[in-house]
Chain A
């Protein structure tokens, strides 16, 4: 939409407009959920399971109940509701059985957090420890413990998902394109390898928090640090059988989400506690340890890839098997399996493709959406596989990628034909290759090697992702014209940090031809005030909400022109406007101002017409289809954003210690709306990707106990972990149905960073890495293998 207007003709689009929420955040005035207090508010604390899988034989809450200041004590036995996003499989607290370490078993609401904690310590639970199921790749073994023996009785979205009752498979996504066996027969070489990723925590700086109030009369008010207030409302309504109109969800400022706050979390529990306490507000803030083990994380992945390739470097067949370690509950993990299933090849064209992607229940903390929605994890395998094959064929890995890169005319894995407007992954790769002087070491780099004894390696990797969302994902933007001709925007995409609200202000101002300062979008969302938006996820916000914003701004002008036409006794076609007024083009002294018409226009004699101006823009994804459950063919993607990273690392060939010297990244964003927001997303996601690549990941003992649920042993990158140099590029191939041609880039920056680092390390010291994260000791171990001859290059094996 408006994609053909040249950038030079745009006043606000493409500029680094400052964020409208910066002052509140910089002065400590922004109120997050944890900053809210209500008269009589109670505080909740939880008792959690020390076992991965255990039968709850008995719970004694009598002492806790008697403690002065305690208003409610609940256990799973008291709560008969199930909650679930796509597959309704979770009780609000463990009922009869615990399914993962850290699962909530009992909850207390008391007058202070200290009393609540003391009461929790007075609860006695008798467990019978059971053998847990911990290895997702053993899903087809006989006689494994079932995490959900009742799977066949759960309700789920049948059009999209395929759980397999009697097993631990929460969803099986099948993709079949072409004839993969025939493709393998025609291949000159076949390579089959396996790549692994652990569970990873999102680490929003603000942990999950919710305040709930369940009034007598069943009206519910929830304040929550959630990404998707309308999804919280919808799932709450479904679970408790209460009308949407009686549930009000408010999201104050949110301190980061990254997918971990996309669904429903603590809200049902605080509301049940409130109900038990007679309708008082109840607040529950997760501790950082609870954030790691009670709340969801990213699923682990074991990815087996079998690739058939011709001598000329063209991949012609690929069989991909994904074992997603979904943990104890399905949450978003089943949809990660679906969305990563249809993208699992990366941005490369595969004529004959076969994917079996399994979400496997295990007795671990459960997986959910995490920036990139599965693409970070499978991309690690894909990008290592690409380098491995290129190396075996003695083709440069960058050239090998270009041979196989998706381009206009290519068919995606679901059969969608890529066009000239879909974005340009090859241009992204070429841009970053140039930025890192790919393929050679500069004189400075050679001198650095000499001086330090380190070995320098470079790599180029590529990425793609489309929003994973229902085919009928929609949104609304409402503009309310104020008396001073400013506009208040009501919209329910949540501003969790990414800066989309500033981009929306720019879009509205551009269409209206007004200064950005006159457009205000309140940061807090309220389902009673704001119009519906599905969720703040998937990098779909800018495209869908941006289009709705254009339509709303056009509607506002249309309504203002109606008023002006009537007031000025003119035809609408003869009207034009500037920032202050609507005027008759051929008689410019005849005008009325936006201020004059804002709340209804009054003629000089006092007669009034029209009423206050309000405008609406509604937009919905169009042309998308559910995928065929037998072969995943169809149209799942509203847009594809492509990108690439160029990575330079230096590695100590003796110890395996390494530094990332430079990362250059390029994304085809269609059109830059706010250049500093794009850059902020690009760098922020890339560093988050480096965390995944270099240090983050859950470590369990053999019984499924999480050993590192803290920042002491599970750190995220700090300022000292940054690459020495970072460069960001925007490629602009306009998206025809994107606002001013733009497409989303929120998640993409995190994808493929791991592969880039792994491949650059391989280039530097010749080690083969297949597990993420890559710690110095992993490189050291790989170096030892290499010196023992185990990691030697295999001769390309003819099939």
Chain B
């Protein structure tokens, strides 16, 4: 089936098989491999993208369901070759380790900040609850989102005993 969609501001028109999910469509047909597959079952959030303003697990959406949709992936976060404020905050706060959850984590954080520019820690936790991260223990990610929204007053930091 022929579908039309906008991804990261660019319009695409492609043939998509009825059985292909959006994750594989984005990765294989559009060549945007920043979005990762962690479980293929909608549990881990690694494949999170923003579809029509809301986060979805792209492994649970059929490509044909995205016909007419506007989508943002991790590749759309930096603009004109410059990291966004959110990305810069992730970098500055060591919110990245292995990086495999990072794309999904950024998209959940982006969708949150679009709706709620000054989220509380609790709101950040709920927004990224569906994104598993096995490396960081989440703290530095939460600090990054606080930092990006101008709310990080004092970091916990490593204390010298």
Given contacts A685-B137, A718-B128, 17 further A-B contacts (CB under 8 A): A19-B96, A24-B99, A25-B102, A26-B87, A28-B33, A28-B103, A32-B100, A205-B134, A254-B98, A497-B97, A666-B161, A680-B94, A683-B136, A722-B137, A722-B139, A730-B161, A732-B160
CA distance in complex: A672, B100 (Å): 26
Query: B139: shortest Cβ distance to chain A, in Å?
Result: 5
Asked if B147 is an interface residue, CB under 8 A from chain A, the answer is no
Question: Quick one: closest B residue to A502, CB to CB?
Answer: B94
Of the listed residues B41, B129, B160, the one surrounded by the most CB atoms of chain A closer than 10 A to its CB is: B160
Sampled A-B contacts (15; CB under 8 Å): A18-B91, A21-B96, A25-B96, A34-B37, A204-B134, A205-B135, A255-B99, A256-B134, A497-B97, A672-B160, A683-B137, A719-B124, A722-B139, A726-B137, A729-B161
CA distance in complex: A684, B75 (Å): 26
The 4 closest A-B pairs by CB, nearest first: A28-B34, A255-B100, A497-B98, A25-B99
Asked if B50 is an interface residue, CB under 8 A from chain A, the answer is no
Name B89-139 residues within 8 Å CB distance of A: 90-94, 96-103, 106, 124-126, 128-139
Query: A517: shortest Cβ distance to chain B, in Å?
Result: 14
CA distance in complex: A428, B161 (Å): 8
Q: Flag the segment in A179-187, A334-342, A709-717, A791-799 that touches B.
A: A709-717
Question: Quick one: closest A residue to B27, CB to CB?
Answer: A35
By a CB distance below 8 angstroms, the chain A residues around B43 are 288, 710-712, 715
The reply to whether B101 and A727 form a contact with Cβ atoms under 8 Å apart is no
Which of A202, A678, A711, A726 is B44 in contact with, Cβ under 8 Å?
A711
The reply to whether B128 and A719 form a contact with Cβ atoms under 8 Å apart is yes
Asked if B157 is an interface residue, CB under 8 A from chain A, the answer is yes
Question: Quick one: closest A residue to B77, CB to CB?
Answer: A27
The reply to whether B35 and A28 form a contact with Cβ atoms under 8 Å apart is yes
The reply to whether B94 and A677 form a contact with Cβ atoms under 8 Å apart is yes
The reply to whether A718 and B132 form a contact with Cβ atoms under 8 Å apart is yes
Using known A-B contacts A28-B34, A31-B33, A687-B137, determine if residue A256 contacts B91 with beta carbons closer than 8 Å: no
Which of A27, A498, A729 is B34 in contact with, Cβ under 8 Å?
A27
The reply to whether A676 and B87 form a contact with Cβ atoms under 8 Å apart is no
Name A654-706 residues within 8 Å CB distance of B: 666, 672, 675-680, 682-688
Question: Quick one: closest A residue to B86, CB to CB?
Answer: A26
CA distance in complex: A143, B126 (Å): 54
The reply to whether A19 and B38 form a contact with Cβ atoms under 8 Å apart is no
Question: Chain A, interface size: which category?
Answer: 35 or more
Interface of B is mostly: loop
Name B6-51 residues within 8 Å CB distance of A: 27, 32-41, 43-44, 46
The interface size of chain B toward A, counting residues with CB under 8 Å, comes to 59
CA distance in complex: A202, B35 (Å): 22
The reply to whether B161 and A683 form a contact with Cβ atoms under 8 Å apart is no
By a CB distance below 8 angstroms, the chain A residues around B140 are 676, 679-680, 683
By a CB distance below 8 angstroms, the chain B residues around A428 are 161
The reply to whether A26 and B98 form a contact with Cβ atoms under 8 Å apart is no
The reply to whether A205 and B100 form a contact with Cβ atoms under 8 Å apart is yes
Asked if B63 is an interface residue, CB under 8 A from chain A, the answer is no
Of the listed residues A32, A672, A711, A712, the one surrounded by the most CB atoms of chain B closer than 10 A to its CB is: A711
Using known A-B contacts A22-B90, A712-B41, A712-B43, determine if residue A499 contacts B97 with beta carbons closer than 8 Å: yes
The reply to whether B158 and A256 form a contact with Cβ atoms under 8 Å apart is no
The reply to whether A18 and B98 form a contact with Cβ atoms under 8 Å apart is no
The reply to whether B38 and A206 form a contact with Cβ atoms under 8 Å apart is yes
The reply to whether A728 and B156 form a contact with Cβ atoms under 8 Å apart is yes
Question: Quick one: closest A residue to B46, CB to CB?
Answer: A205
Which of B78, B128, B132, B157 is A27 in contact with, Cβ under 8 Å?
B78
Asked if A5 is an interface residue, CB under 8 A from chain B, the answer is no
Of the listed residues B43, B96, B128, the one surrounded by the most CB atoms of chain A closer than 10 A to its CB is: B96
Question: Quick one: closest A residue to B104, CB to CB?
Answer: A205
Question: Quick one: closest B residue to A203, CB to CB?
Answer: B134
Of the listed residues B91, B135, B139, the one surrounded by the most CB atoms of chain A closer than 10 A to its CB is: B135
By a CB distance below 8 angstroms, the chain A residues around B129 are 718-720
Query: A595: shortest Cβ distance to chain B, in Å?
Result: 28
The reply to whether A288 and B40 form a contact with Cβ atoms under 8 Å apart is yes
CA distance in complex: A287, B106 (Å): 24
The reply to whether A719 and B38 form a contact with Cβ atoms under 8 Å apart is no
CA distance in complex: A378, B64 (Å): 51
By a CB distance below 8 angstroms, the chain A residues around B92 are 18
Question: Quick one: closest B residue to A17, CB to CB?
Answer: B94
Interface string of A155-167 (1 = CB under 8 A from B): 0000000000000
Of the listed residues B39, B40, B140, the one surrounded by the most CB atoms of chain A closer than 10 A to its CB is: B39
Using known A-B contacts A31-B33, A676-B94, determine if residue A728 contacts B136 with beta carbons closer than 8 Å: no
